[in-house]
Structure 1
């Protein structure tokens, strides 16, 4: 009897879990036009989707998410509603990506660095110093090769919609650092992919992959000596409180990407796909503008809080140190790297 009871409870649990996973992606037929919609909209399906975001509500990527959701709702006449869940309410990036693949979460914004484990082509963005500056990066992302990379995600059960501004990643540490040699032997948190581990090895740093949400406590307790990220993340995460030395080497520009679950995407009509895709593209400039404002504000605030900011005077030794990493991955990413180089012109 006990064994039978346990089997019944387990079966019931599976049903409840399956129901909860599908709850966010259900659709219903309208019997009346949505608010702001037309009579024609009343005959079209309505949706309520979720968008998972790691960063806080006022962070530029979150603001970009909200602009995207706002445009989708407006252009669908209120039929398609996307609720944004910031601050990792639905999980950290790796776990969320897995849920997006399953269709349990419909949309997310993640770093392309986190995507490398799900689509190997995205590992190219983690390579160091491949973009000269912001303008160079956006020329590539908004070109044919950048769009091709978005489309390639369908093989990984996702639909790439657009890119968001990532800023430039630099090192911050508990101990003072002013040059490359000062990082030797330090335990530095990196995004969980092999390219970042290889970069740290080339710089004589001990790479420590871990989830973003674990970094503050790990810095605080000495599990790691430092991490690397952009100004806004350095500020919003409050990492500057426990790692006051920020060395501006700008070794990576790792784009953010706005994603939809392919399972969700395939349910949409062609009309709705166009609405969602265009809304994603049209939210980009807004997000980029918000990024610039937030970046400037973040820099001012971490300085006011006592963070020591050091600009790398000569970047050539850094570039030379990581050249073997680019050489190692060049055969794998040759076509993309060639396109990135061509975008310099």
Structure 2
């Protein structure tokens, strides 16, 4: 009885174990290597996503397709990387969609201040028809694969805690290289200075700027707490990460190879979001232990800040397109109801 049973079990298990490898061998997949550039440390939520994606691409292609990751902006800042993707010298990257505003103003919709209240609302928009619509709006030379998580942006500085709108007054704050973000900080009373992320730590250290805004995980993994004493949980903008590929590289791929990349990016999405949000909670505890004063901004004060920047929201809603912004709010309302 034992030998027949053993043979039966092997007959059942072997196909399952070999299936992924056989499928990869049967598919139209060539040996390829892709460069994945991003500006965060390997240990960050962005780094985790890139490494997990690389692992899945290798697994799904039977080891034929390889992704080499280049963290910490070693291949250039975000805007340089976009140009490199369009030129085909770098194949993959991930960054907040708002950084694409210079190429398509509609992407400013993601940076409208105080748009989302929580992750649930943001995920619903990104994973629904509005998020998919934006994949078709990417600038020429870019192909969208998936949305990962960067987190809610929060303001830090070296001067004092920010607990109310008036506390922004006079602070020199580094802002993303996007007009909407610059106008938001200026309207709150700060002096916004556009600057690439790769230049930020030095600018904070030398006091060229008083503060900055970033998701908490980025704040902690880049050691900004060494040069910033106060972190305020303003949650003024939610940043997804849009995973993109060079159109030139994409056009060279077979349908099977494209499926490997798309499936790997989407499978990474859920795990990356979970890890990113878990890292956020742990990062708050870590920076507190290191002596950073963390201030929770109340819902009432966030509402006051939202009211103060209404002129910014109205201005950019017209530039982005009122119909498109209306679609954002309609998806959010579905979740809130």
In the other structure, the counterpart of 1:94 is 79
In the other structure, the counterpart of 2:269 is 284
| Equivalent residues of 2:28, 2:257 under 8 A apart | no
Please say which of residues 310-319 and 41-50 is displaced more in the overlay. 41-50
Q: Which residue, out of 121, 125, 143, partners 1:159?
A: 143
User: For the residues of structure 1 that align with 2:197 and 2:273, how far apart are their CA atoms?
Assistant: 22
- Report the Cα offset of residue 310 of structure 1: 1.0
Runs of 4+ deviating beyond 3 Å: 35-44
Q: Which residue, out of 306, 323, 326, partners 1:335?
A: 323
| Equivalent residues of 1:161, 1:281 under 8 A apart | yes
**Aligned Cα root-mean-square deviation (Å):** 1.7
User: For the residues of structure 1 that align with 2:191 and 2:24, how far apart are their CA atoms?
Assistant: 61
| Equivalent residues of 2:147, 2:241 under 8 A apart | yes
| Equivalent residues of 2:29, 2:254 under 8 A apart | no
In the other structure, the counterpart of 2:101 is 116
In the other structure, the counterpart of 1:30 is none
- Mapping 1:179-328, distance limit 5 Å: 179-313=164-298, 314=300, 315-328=302-315
Q: Which residue, out of 64, 82, 85, partners 2:49?
A: 64
- Report the Cα offset of residue 41 of structure 1: 4.9
User: For the residues of structure 2 that align with 1:273 and 1:125, how far apart are their CA atoms?
Assistant: 27
Please say which of residues 334-343 and 249-258 is displaced more in the overlay. 334-343
User: For the residues of structure 1 that align with 2:98 and 2:221, how far apart are their CA atoms?
Assistant: 19
User: For the residues of structure 2 that align with 1:317 and 1:226, how far apart are their CA atoms?
Assistant: 21
Unaligned runs of 5+ in 1: 1-34
| Equivalent residues of 2:24, 2:61 under 8 A apart | no
Q: Which residue, out of 134, 143, 165, partners 1:149?
A: 134
Q: 1:7-28, CA deviations, whole angstroms, 9 ceiling, x for partnerless residues?
A: xxxxxxxxxxxxxxxxxxxxxx
Aligned to 1:310, what secondary structure does the other structure show?
strand
Q: 1:271 to 1:319 in 2, by over 3 A?
A: same
User: For the residues of structure 2 that align with 1:250 and 1:209, how far apart are their CA atoms?
Assistant: 19
- Report the Cα offset of residue 60 of structure 1: 1.1
| Equivalent residues of 1:185, 1:204 under 8 A apart | yes
Q: 1:309 to 1:38 in 2, by over 3 A?
A: closer
| Equivalent residues of 1:37, 1:79 under 8 A apart | no
- Normalising by the residue count of structure 1, what TM-score does the alignment of the two structures yield? 0.86
In the other structure, the counterpart of 2:5 is none
In the other structure, the counterpart of 2:153 is 169
Aligned to 2:31, what secondary structure does the other structure show?
strand
| Equivalent residues of 2:45, 2:150 under 8 A apart | no
Unaligned runs of 5+ in 2: 1-19
Aligned to 1:84, what secondary structure does the other structure show?
strand
- Normalising by the residue count of structure 2, what TM-score does the alignment of the two structures yield? 0.88
Q: 1:205 to 1:282 in 2, by over 3 A?
A: same
User: For the residues of structure 2 that align with 1:279 and 1:335, how far apart are their CA atoms?
Assistant: 33
Q: 1:131 to 1:45 in 2, by over 3 A?
A: same
Q: 1:204-263, CA deviations, whole angstroms, 9 ceiling, x for partnerless residues?
A: 111101111222221121111111111111111111111111111110002111110000
Q: Which residue, out of 55, 59, 75, partners 2:40?
A: 55
| Equivalent residues of 2:25, 2:62 under 8 A apart | no
- Report the Cα offset of residue 318 of structure 1: 0.1
Higher relative contact order (CA 8 A, sep 6+): 2
User: For the residues of structure 2 that align with 1:305 and 1:334, how far apart are their CA atoms?
Assistant: 44
User: What is the total number of aligned residue pairs between the two structures?
Assistant: 310
Aligned to 1:152, what secondary structure does the other structure show?
coil
| Equivalent residues of 2:29, 2:61 under 8 A apart | no
Q: 1:190 to 1:59 in 2, by over 3 A?
A: same
User: For the residues of structure 1 that align with 2:27 and 2:110, how far apart are their CA atoms?
Assistant: 43
User: For the residues of structure 2 that align with 1:224 and 1:43, how far apart are their CA atoms?
Assistant: 52
- Report the Cα offset of residue 336 of structure 1: 2.7
